[in-house]
């Protein structure tokens, strides 16, 4: 138990409520929130902006070597962390379904995964973080003291995403959004490196009929009763 890290790892498919829950849990524990998906989205955005084909090895390596990603706490009243790519706030460009698809694509590339995994391990090495993503419990922080897998039915996940996008003023085609969510989860689960999967020790939670507060309380109680020091 002594080599366990004071890290909460929350993995699961898109739209399961990971971001809201991770942020809320981090507040409750007074831990730092680490949104690893935002980092994959930042790489996707940089590729898109610089017109680098994700498959292009040398160009992509060059892009990664020059890329500075900073995650800052959300502004007052905002939900999502601020993401700075090479010093520029680009958060609002990252949350679209299209950038999610591109992030999923770049996240399957080995050089991207190893680069971001190292950065995430560096950011989390002092512990006291809540990390969310697809592989935080399996690959990035295998020694995390607390691991959860947060799931929900695809239709419910689609509805949450649709509400979120509409609240940002976007037009939403629900059938198309559902198809995108299913495809992204399939691709994320079937890729060769660090696929989306439940860590053996992770606690499985389904948020289909539970709100974020309920899930946060379940996680918090589990952490308090786990026997690992906070």
Binding site for ligand DC (CB under 6 A): 14, 36-37, 40-41, 100, 103-104, 107, 133-136, 184, 188
Gap between the Cα atoms of 117 and 113, Å rounded: 6
Query: Three-class SS of residue 215?
Result: helix
Gap between the Cα atoms of 169 and 97, Å rounded: 14
Q: Are 44 and 166 in contact (CB under 8 A)?
A: no
Minimum gap (Å) between residue 224 Cβ and ligand DC: 26
Name which of 167 and 225 has its Cβ closer to ligand DC: 167
Helices and strands counted in the chain (H then E): 9, 8
Closest listed residue to residue 41, CA positions, set 103, 91, 128: 103
Gap between the Cα atoms of 94 and 103, Å rounded: 9
Minimum gap (Å) between residue 226 Cβ and ligand DC: 23
Minimum gap (Å) between residue 205 Cβ and ligand DC: 16
Name which of 31 and 40 has its Cβ closer to ligand DC: 40
Minimum gap (Å) between residue 173 Cβ and ligand DC: 19
Gap between the Cα atoms of 101 and 117, Å rounded: 19
Minimum gap (Å) between residue 14 Cβ and ligand DC: 4
Name which of 78 and 221 has its Cβ closer to ligand DC: 78
129-133/32-35 β-pairing: parallel
Name which of 135 and 151 has its Cβ closer to ligand DC: 135
> How far is the first Cα of the chain from the last one, in angstroms, to the nearest whole number?
13
Name which of 140 and 145 has its Cβ closer to ligand DC: 140
Name which of 134 and 147 has its Cβ closer to ligand DC: 134
Instruction: Give the distance between the most distant pair of CA atoms in the chain.
Output: 50
Minimum gap (Å) between residue 102 Cβ and ligand DC: 9
């Amino acid at each position: 138990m002594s080599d366990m890290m004071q890290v909460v790892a929350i993995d699961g498919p898109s739209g399961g409520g990971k971001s809201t829950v991770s942020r809320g849990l981090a507040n409750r524990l007074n831990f730092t929130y680490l949104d690893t998906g935002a980092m994959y989205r930042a790489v996707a955005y940089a590729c898109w902006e610089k017109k680098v084909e994700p498959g292009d090895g040398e160009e992509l390596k060059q892009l990664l070597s020059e890329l500075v990603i900073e995650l800052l706490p959300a502004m007052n009243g905002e939900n999502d962390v601020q993401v700075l790519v090479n010093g520029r706030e680009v958060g609002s460009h990252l949350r679209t379904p299209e950038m999610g698809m591109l992030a999923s694509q770049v996240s399957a590339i080995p050089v991207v995964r190893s680069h971001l995994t190292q950065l995430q391990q560096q950011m989390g090495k002092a512990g006291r973080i809540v990390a969310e993503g697809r592989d935080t419990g399996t690959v990035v922080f295998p020694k995390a003291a607390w691991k959860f897998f947060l799931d929900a039915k695809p239709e419910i996940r689609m509805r949450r995403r649709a509400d979120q996008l509409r609240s940002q003023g976007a037009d939403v085609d629900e059938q198309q959004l559902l198809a995108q969510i299913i495809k992204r989860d399939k691709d994320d689960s079937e890729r060769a490196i660090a696929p989306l999967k439940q860590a053996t020790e992770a606690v499985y939670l389904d948020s289909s009929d539970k709100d974020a507060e309920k899930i946060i309380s379940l996680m918090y109680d589990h952490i308090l009763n786990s026997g690992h020091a906070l």
